[in-house]
Amino acid sequence: MLIYSVLSSHFRRLAINISNSMEFQILPFTLKLCMVISICIIGKKCGDWLLAVKIKSGKDEKNKREHNGSKRTVPTSVNYHFTRQCNYKCGFCFHTAKTSFVLPLEEAKRGLRMLRDAGMEKVNFSGGEPFLQDRGRYVGEMVRYCKRELHLPSVTIVSNGSMITERWFKQYGDDLDILAVSCDSFVPETNALIGRQQGQKNHLESLKRVRHWCAEYKVAFKLNTVVNIYNKEEDMSANIMELNPCRWKVFQCLLIDGENVGELALRNAEKYVISDEDFQTFLQCHREVPCLVPESNEAMRYSYLILDEYMRFLDGGTKQPSKSILDVGVENTINYAAFDERMFLKRGGKYQWSKADMLLDW
């Protein structure tokens, strides 16, 4: 209000001074009137604009204080992207291979314990491709640690499935609740266009093999699909029903500046993007699939707590990192993620995520 009143009075004084000047007196009356009115209007417009900015700034600051202070964010469900390396080259990937860094295993375990102590109930290990590091041993040891030492209700992994072996299931399968495999198409040519493959490896054969092992070793099987320009018209219903996942997460292709769009990005996903209408059409086509769980861009952006390879929380909109929880703790970093708990619950983020509670036909 102070800025508004000072600016308004300044323009009023300016109008009075001009009207009293000798040069102004000799001008025709109509022109004099127009000049004075114009100065007053400009002054009021500037004042109104500054006032609006001040009000918005005050609201933003109030919201920030309320978000950071009045309610403590509990990391109930955390996605730990411990590696950025991957053997696939999906064109829309939003967590690309910008570094090859992976924390020492004991440091990662220390961070996981800190998260558990702060309230974490579920951890999801992702990448990159989680099974690339030490041929799956690294992620396997974290899975075992989280289940046997930290006693987390839910331990899950998202993978492309191409690097998983039966030996891994024999060694670590008991401690894994859910394994999610990414599959964007059941047409090999479409997977090739997307980049969901490595060399001559058949992604769909890997998918079916992993599905069989999940049933054999009693790990709940989940499927993830990103709807994009190349698969938006594909009817996957029969294939999904045959695989029978406990959940089929269907994501709308999402752009993240610096990751899959923009000058600093390693990908350009703009050509993969679909409209909201296209996404809704895909969902409508698959409305009879009972395990379908849709996630639009709006639902995704701030409803995940994401840790990067340094155990830094990432802002849901910009992917800019906080300080590492290993350096300053969970409570001093978690609000940086701008986590929207209401959207997390609305999109079905909290569900029956422990295989001990699932009534699955193995």
Residue 334 to residue 74: CA distance in whole angstroms = 8
> Among residues 34, 40, 46, 90, which one is catalytic?
90
Catalytic status, residue 183: no
Count, residues in the chain: 362
253 is catalytic: no
What is the Cα–Cα distance from 4 to 280, expressed in whole angstroms?
46
Q: Which neighbouring-strand residues pair with 178? A: 156, 220
Give every strand in the sheet of 154-159, ordered side by side.
Answer: 292-295, 247-252, 220-227, 178-182, 154-159, 122-126, 77-81, 306-307, 312-314, 321-324
Sorted by sequence, the CB contacts under 8 Å of residue 349 that are 6+ apart come out as: 77, 303, 304
- How do the residues of the chain divide into helix, strand and coil, expressed in percent and rounded to 5? 45, 15, 40
Tell me the C-alpha distance between 164 and 132, whole Å: 9
The answer to whether residue 93 is catalytic is yes
In the set 34, 40, 46, 93, the catalytic residue is: 93
Active-site annotation holder among 34, 46, 86, 214: 86
- The H or E element spanning position 77 is strand 77-81
- Residues forming the active site: 86, 90, 93
